[in-house]
Amino acid sequence: MSTLHATGHLVDEQTQGVPTFEANGGDWSQIAEEAARLGEERIVVNMGPQHPSTHGVLRLMLEIDGETVTEARAGIGYLHTGIEKNMEFRTWTQGVTFCTRMDYVAPLFQEAAFCLGVEKLLGVTDDIPERASVIRVLMMELNRITSHLVCIATGGNELGATTIMTVGFTAREEILKIFELISGLRMNHAYIRPGGVAQDVPPGTVAETRKALELVKGYMRQLEDIMLANPILHLRLKDVGYLGLAGCMALGITGPMLRCTGLPYDVRKAFPYSGYETYEFDVPTATSGDSWGRLVVRLEEIYQSIRIVEQALDRLDANPGPVMVADKKIAWPAQLAIGTDGMGNSLDHIREIMGTSMEALIHHFKLVTEGFRVPAGQVWQTVEHPRGELGVHLVSDGGTRPYRAHFRDPSFNNLQATSILCEGGQVADVVVSVASIDPVLGGVDR
């Protein structure tokens, strides 16, 4: 006979001829009770939440028969930080600092969705300067490239292909340098703000970004040479983690997982924002519906994002306008600059408000400490996140902070497919399937 321990392993014991189960914790107790009721011997493997192949603190409970996964359950919540609730106790501008930390691999998309929603409530969507919208598109598409590179790099590493990881992260590093040049930070930028962006791009940004793009293209060619004709990768990814269009529609799955089933749904095309309707780009699709199709779609999306970034850079050269809405009741009063000690108020701005304009100092103090008021109402805003459709539902009671802020994170919805992708396959294929979902648990748990 055997005992099901909390580690998930069956251990032979001398018993009186009856299977005995020893399990601790809520879900483990339920699994043990079910196993005892069925009178079967089952092996339950606890994969995570610290497992390196689960993309963060994701817990997978796998029931296996030999090497075959017969049942897979996802356990989430280990990274819950109360971000949405915390946003209710901060001003609308301060909310950006919270939501940028949700999906930490693609922070700029949460910032953009939140700020676009706030601007809808304020009724200033059409007043956002064109240069600010171009910078937003530039930053989001650069972030899409880095996000897909993390997916490809970590997925390769989990399969044992360390070179894929080193090349992918080296390429990502070039873009993180651009983020640091523009915002002062490599991640969690809080750079996009209601009304525009925190500050204009510094001199030399366009040239440095073009240089970085050329390097990224070179690394992409290396990745393609390593991956696309690799027979081992074909065997590991093709026909693994299959999910068809009907399954995606039933589960509300979007992004590359949906597009690899042949449906070219992209929020940038379906419901354009920030001027995306004026950019030329294609929506890559595949028809395989498996892990290989998701890889190919992401690779092609990187090239389409490079295409958009190059158009945005051309527009920055041609448009020297402001980067914040003109309404001083909304516009953040700080004149930020990046100095030797990081990003902060420029010395010229400090001299003005402290030495020559008492009114400017008072306005600065009130707007920073109290924030601006947003008319009562509610709004729904979506953007095309690297993992799918990201939505934000904002509710205002007319005050200086959100009454409610809720995000529809694509990783949360996409993780619903875990059991469908994994059950019936081998344990080794679980790693591939989860990597092809590309979940980020900071966005799932929030």
- What is the per-residue pLDDT across 204-260, written as a single tens digit (0 to 9) for each? 889 999 999 999 999 999 999 998 888 888 888 888 888 889 988 999 899 899 999
For the chain, the average pLDDT equals 83
Reported as a single tens digit per residue, the pLDDT across 253-289 is 998 999 999 899 999 999 999 889 999 999 999 998 8
> What is the Cα–Cα distance from 105 to 101, expressed in whole angstroms?
9
Q: Is the pLDDT of residue 1 over 50?
A: no
Question: 20 with 141, same domain?
Answer: no
The rounded percent of the chain whose pLDDT value lies above 70 is 83
Reported as a single tens digit per residue, the pLDDT across 27-61 is 666 766 776 676 666 788 888 777 666 677 888 88
- C-beta atoms surrounding 45 within 10 Å: 16
Last-in-domain residue among 35, 50, 75: 75
- Cα–chain-centroid distance for residue 104? 6
Question: 150 with 168, same domain?
Answer: yes
Question: 27 with 176, same domain?
Answer: no
Question: 287 with 307, same domain?
Answer: yes
The pair of three-digit structure tokens given for residue 172, joined into one six-digit string: 């990502």
The pLDDT assigned to 335 comes to 63
Question: 41 with 145, same domain?
Answer: no
Integer CA distances (angstroms), 396 to 30, 86, 446, in order: 42, 15, 21
Q: SS3 string of the chain?
A: CEEECCCCCEEECCCCCCCCCCCCCHHHHHHHHHHHHHCCCCEEEEECCCCHHHCCCCEEEEEEECCEEEEEEEECCCCCCCHHHHHCCCCCCCHHHHHCCCCCCCHHHHHHHHHHHHHHHHCCHHHCCHHHHHHHHHHHHHHHHHHHHHHHHHHHHHCCCHHHHHHHHHHHHHHHHHHHHHHCCCCCCCCEECCEECCCCCCCHHHHHHHHHHHHHHHHHHHHHHHCCCHHHHHHHCCCCCCCHHHHHHHCCCCHHHHCCCCCCCHHHHCCCCCHHHCCCCCCCCCCCCHHHHHHHHHHHHHHHHHHHHHHHHHHHHCCCCCECCCCCCCCCCCEEEECCEEEECHHHHHHHHHCCHHHHHHHHHHHHCCCCCCCEEEEEEEEECCEEEEEEEEECCCCCCCEEEEECHHHHHHHHHHHHHCCCEHHHHHHHHHHHCCCHHHHHC
Question: 149 with 202, same domain?
Answer: yes
> Residue 200 — pLDDT band, cuts 50, 70, 90?
confident
Question: 69 with 183, same domain?
Answer: no
* CA nearest to 315, candidates 129, 117, 64: 129
Last-in-domain residue among 20, 47, 75: 75
The pLDDT assigned to 175 comes to 92
* CA nearest to 378, candidates 117, 193, 123, 196: 117
Integer CA distances (angstroms), 181 to 199, 263, 314, in order: 12, 37, 18
> What is the Cα–Cα distance from 180 to 171, expressed in whole angstroms?
15
Q: Is the pLDDT of residue 139 over 60?
A: yes
The pLDDT assigned to 104 comes to 87
The pair of three-digit structure tokens given for residue 313, joined into one six-digit string: 């850079």
> What is the Cα–Cα distance from 173 to 300, expressed in whole angstroms?
20
> Residue 5 — pLDDT band, cuts 50, 70, 90?
very low
> Residue 15 — pLDDT band, cuts 50, 70, 90?
very low
The pair of three-digit structure tokens given for residue 341, joined into one six-digit string: 């000690």
Q: What is the mean pLDDT of residues 108-120?
A: 92
Structural domain of 49: 2-75
Q: What is the mean pLDDT of residues 95-114?
A: 90
**Number of domains composing the chain:** 3
Question: 273 with 351, same domain?
Answer: no
The β-bridge partners of 75 are: 59
The pLDDT assigned to 173 comes to 93
Last-in-domain residue among 369, 388, 423: 369
Question: 342 with 425, same domain?
Answer: no
Q: What is the mean pLDDT of residues 13-20?
A: 51
The rounded percent of the chain whose pLDDT value lies above 90 is 33
> Residue 7 — pLDDT band, cuts 50, 70, 90?
very low
The β-bridge partners of 384 are: 389
> What is the Cα–Cα distance from 341 to 362, expressed in whole angstroms?
26
Question: 149 with 118, same domain?
Answer: yes
- Phi, psi dihedrals of residue 246, rounded to the nearest 5°: -60, -40
Reported as a single tens digit per residue, the pLDDT across 309-362 is 999 999 988 888 788 887 777 777 666 666 666 666 666 666 666 667 676 677
The pair of three-digit structure tokens given for residue 179, joined into one six-digit string: 């983020």
Question: 45 with 171, same domain?
Answer: no
Question: 309 with 343, same domain?
Answer: no
CATH code (residue 174): 1.10.645.10
The pair of three-digit structure tokens given for residue 399, joined into one six-digit string: 């005050």
